[in-house]
Amino acid sequence: MNKILKILLTEIIFLIIFTGIVLAEEGHSMEAAISTNKKSYDIGEEILVDISINEIKGFSGLNTFLAKKVYDSEKVEYIGAQVTNSNWEILGDAENILLRKIEGEDLNKGKICTLKFKALKEGKTKIQIDKLDACNDEGYVYYEDGNVNSPFIEIIIQDRGINNIKENKTYIGIILIAVGTLGIIAVGIHYKLNKN
């Protein structure tokens, strides 16, 4: 038992020492960007956020991209994501996103995927991709090395009232009853005036 414990501790120390020290090569960097087609959304509306690579330095392109999605889950709900290129696959959950090349050329610039959110609550909010790691066979960037950015966008979610009425059929029923009642009263007044 003691021998097994010593072997396990030795392996753990070895792993901590040799896997914990990861530094990107000198001159490797990447600049990512995120964008939307507009800055203001109504409650209930779908928000499409494009992730793009603007620049890669020190190696030819990417075949793997990993990032953390940062957003206020009270104001927006993550729905899913879609890759731009069918040679890539997308994995992840509400917090993380992983893109991997299945086949073809590495990506060196351009849009890589679209994240989909739903506007939930009125107010100003931020959507960000953070803790980016990306690589190919020639090199990599690692967020802890400070050689990759953490882009974000700010959007405004508005409650214009229209969506609330559409979602709440009770209000529509009340409005129809009121309009119908006013119509009946108007016909009655018209009939009474024409009778005299």
CATH fold for domain 24-159: Immunoglobulin-like (2.60.40)
Contact 52, 111 (CB under 8 A): yes
The pLDDT assigned to 194 comes to: 74
Question: Rounded distance, CA 12 to CA 90, Å?
Answer: 32
Average pLDDT, the chain: 82
Q: What is the mean pLDDT of residues 71-89?
A: 93
User: Which range among 18-27, 91-100, 119-128 shows the weakest confidence by mean pLDDT?
Assistant: 18-27
Residue type, 188: G
Provide the percentage of residues in the chain whose pLDDT is more than 70: 78
Tell which wins on pLDDT, 186 or 124. Answer: 124
Asked if residue 37 has pLDDT above 80, the reply is yes
The pLDDT assigned to 3 comes to: 64
Domain ranges for the chain: 24-159, 166-195
The pLDDT assigned to 96 comes to: 94
CA distances 136 to 25, 57, 68, 86, 99, Å, are 13, 12, 19, 18, 12
Contact 100, 89 (CB under 8 A): yes
The pLDDT assigned to 6 comes to: 53
| pLDDT confidence bin for 166, thresholds 50/70/90 | low
Asked if residue 13 has pLDDT above 80, the reply is no
Q: Model-level pTM?
A: 0.69
